[in-house]
Amino acid sequence: MSDRGGKTPCYVGKRPCGCVVAAVVDDGDDPKDVAKFIADLVKRGMTVDRSTVDEARKLLTEGLKCEHQPAKSASERERFMRKTATPFLPGFDEEKAR
C-alpha cells in the first residue's frame, strides 16, 4: 500500500458550480471501489477530474465551504461526507476545513 500522500493520484468530484466536495485516492489498491465512487459522483451530477492528494486536500478545504449549492440539511451533508471524502482521502481533516 502506498503512503497516500503528496503526489499520489486521486480523483476529485466537482459540483456544477465548480466547488470540489469529494475525493478518492487512486493508488491501485482498490480499483473497483474507485470506479464505484466515480460512478456515484457522476450519478450525482458532478464532473470528475484527476488530481494529486495534496491538490485535492487544498481543493476540498475550499469546496466544503461551498455556498452555491448547500446541502438540504446538516444530516444530508454528514451522510454525504461519511460516504465520500472522509474515508477516501487520508490526512484530510474536515473539521479544520470548516
Condensed to tens digits (0 to 9), the pLDDT of residues 11-35 reads 999 988 888 888 999 888 888 989 9
Report, as an integer, the average pLDDT of 72-90.
54
Predicted TM-score of the model (pTM)? 0.67
Instruction: Give the C-alpha separation, 46 to 16, whole Å.
Output: 6
End-to-end CA distance of the chain: 30
Query: Could you tell me the three cell numbers for 2?
Result: 502506498
- Reference 38, options 9, 58, 79; nearest CA is 9
Burial level of 30, CB count in 10 A (0-12/13-18/19+)? middle
